[in-house]
Structure 1
Amino acid sequence: MDIANSRWLWLSTVPVVMIVLLQAAIFLRRAWRDGKEMGLTEEKLKTGFKTGIISAIGPSIAVLAGMLALIATVGGPVAWMRLTVIGSIAFELPAAELGLSQFGYSLGDEGISETAYAAAVWAMTLGGTGWLLVSAFGTRHMETVRSKISNGNEKLIPVISAAAMLGAFAYFLSGEVAAGTPETGAAAVGGLAMLALLHVADSRDIQWVREWSLGAAMFVGLLAGVAVQVTVGSWW
């Protein structure tokens, strides 16, 4: 852990995090400029920006909790860098475990060698490269693919986009629902809370409820999952 939290490791991870922050700033600037070119008012742009920040709170809590677990296993610098770039504790911990296991260690063991630690870091880094390469070289072609799927019908593009998002969320959610009773309870209660909040926001036209609905639903679902775990445990 002295090596994992050393000054040189902190310094080596700073440039990676700075690049991510620079990308975020560039995307924000482009979105703001393109929004104005599309005819959006500054008020609508500010509302969208605020909604995006609020909607990110819920997922960020999960990433923060995962970072605490990752700090205890691979140290602060690597945890900071990996979750800044990828943000998926569900990938990072198994990847670190895979690297350590090649030398007979497991996460949480005492006396992990420097070589085993380096293998864990390389497994996390190289294992996540695929996503970055797909994003770097494939993103510019996604609009073309989407247009071909819609066969030139502009009305189908929003439908295809919504279906793709639903499919992605369903893929990740199905694994969690099958993991155990607490996970199933968390997903069910969180989903019902989201529907209820959106119903209130739409029926009464309350914008702030709509903005906070995602984070609130995730938090309610999290509490429900903990309650099920504490009271009845896992039935499968």
Structure 2
Amino acid sequence: MPSFPLALDPDSTDLAPIVNAPVLWLTVVAVFGVIIAQSVIYYVAVRKAAPAVGMSRKEVATSFRAGAVASIGPSLAVALIALTLITVFGTPAALVRIGLIGSAAFEVGGAAISANAQGAELGGEGYTQSVFASVLLSLSLAGTVWMLVTLIATPLLKRGANRLEGRTVGRAAGAMSIIPGAALLGAFATLGMQQVQRGLGATLVVATTAAVMAIALWIARRFSQNWLREWGLGIAVVIGLVVAVLINAAGIA
């Protein structure tokens, strides 16, 4: 682990001493330690609560496998973008920011705005040690607002859910099953449309991935191949990546 320099130069554009500061590596360990601890806590809680909702251990294991497979695509995307952020933020800062927020677009956009506000270009001219420190502080404050909104909004949403459950059981159950599905559909539709707007190449990748996923689900239902329900998304992501490489090689924008 690199040693912390005895004296930093706020006006220096040499970021090597500050981006690899031990204190930043300590934050990496802390952040990923919290993530691992949360995962263990959630897993234990699910195992304990499963019998109360009629879930067997096999169903719990299946659910976790499905979640793990579903996370492959988003994780690969974040990991690839994290590699590009390392050139601007350094390894520890990139790991911390992606580990906490996970939105590369938010991180890059926020960093660019913060750097431009100080008359510097992100990763370019005027990007000094002091600008780098200010960028990290700005991103941290912005991330704090996200967490505060979650803390404030979650109880309000829970009250709304309780009111729905307090009404007619049948209608409440129907509403509670529709709302999460509609939210997920809207979120993924928004992400899909953002990709489609990039051009023909991105549109072909989205269409191919969607078609592969639809075929996988059809096969799973038609031939009772339940494993495809878990692995369908992973297969679609891999095929989508292959198609993206081929399209890029063909020069389709």
Bigger mean CA deviation after superposition, 223-232 or 162-171: 223-232
Identify which of 193, 206, 225 aligns with 1:206.
225
Structure 2 unaligned spans of 5+: 1-15
**1:160-184 residue CA offsets vs partner (Å, 9 max, x unmatched):** 2211110111122222211222221
Alpha-carbon distance in 1 for matches of 2:217, 2:150: 32
Size of the aligned set, in residue pairs, is 234
Q: Is the aligned partner of 1:221 residue 2:240? A: yes
**1:179 is matched by which residue type in structure 2?**
R
Identify which of 60, 63, 81 aligns with 2:75.
60
Q: How high is the sequence identity, in percent, across the aligned residues?
A: 30
Bigger mean CA deviation after superposition, 80-89 or 26-35: 26-35
Give the aligned partner of residue 113 of structure 1.
Answer: 128
In structure 1, the residue corresponding to 2:127 is in which secondary structure? coil
1:178–1:221 CA distance, 2 compared to 1 (3 A): same
Residue 222 of structure 1 deviates from its aligned partner by 2.8
Identify which of 41, 44, 53 aligns with 1:29.
44
Q: How does 1:56-205 map to 2 (within 5 A)?
A: 56-109=71-124, 112-146=127-161, 148=163, 152=168, 153=171, 154-205=173-224
Bigger mean CA deviation after superposition, 141-150 or 186-195: 141-150
8 Å contact 2:110–2:139 — kept in the other structure? yes
1:141–1:31 CA distance, 2 compared to 1 (3 A): farther
Alpha-carbon distance in 2 for matches of 1:15, 1:219: 32
State the TM-score, normalizing by the size of structure 1: 0.89
8 Å contact 2:82–2:94 — kept in the other structure? yes
Give the aligned partner of residue 13 of structure 1.
Answer: 28
8 Å contact 1:63–1:89 — kept in the other structure? yes
Residue 110 of structure 1 deviates from its aligned partner by 6.2
Residue 148 of structure 1 deviates from its aligned partner by 4.4
1:149–1:164 CA distance, 2 compared to 1 (3 A): farther
Give the aligned partner of residue 5 of structure 2.
Answer: none
8 Å contact 2:119–2:126 — kept in the other structure? no
**1:17-62 residue CA offsets vs partner (Å, 9 max, x unmatched):** 3223222222222222111221211111111122222221222111
Bigger mean CA deviation after superposition, 125-134 or 186-195: 125-134
Alpha-carbon distance in 1 for matches of 2:200, 2:57: 46
Residue 158 of structure 1 deviates from its aligned partner by 0.9
Give the aligned partner of residue 65 of structure 2.
Answer: 50
Structure 1 unaligned spans of 5+: none
Bigger mean CA deviation after superposition, 214-223 or 40-49: 214-223
**2:24 is matched by which residue type in structure 1?**
L
Residue 111 of structure 1 deviates from its aligned partner by 6.6
**1:54-103 residue CA offsets vs partner (Å, 9 max, x unmatched):** 22122211111111111121011111111111111121112122222223
Alpha-carbon distance in 2 for matches of 1:48, 1:27: 13
**1:29 is matched by which residue type in structure 2?**
V
Give the number of the structure whose alpha-carbon radius of gyration is greater: 2
Alpha-carbon distance in 2 for matches of 1:133, 1:20: 18
Alpha-carbon distance in 1 for matches of 2:200, 2:121: 27
Alpha-carbon distance in 2 for matches of 1:24, 1:139: 20
Give the aligned partner of residue 3 of structure 1.
Answer: 18
Residue 113 of structure 1 deviates from its aligned partner by 0.8
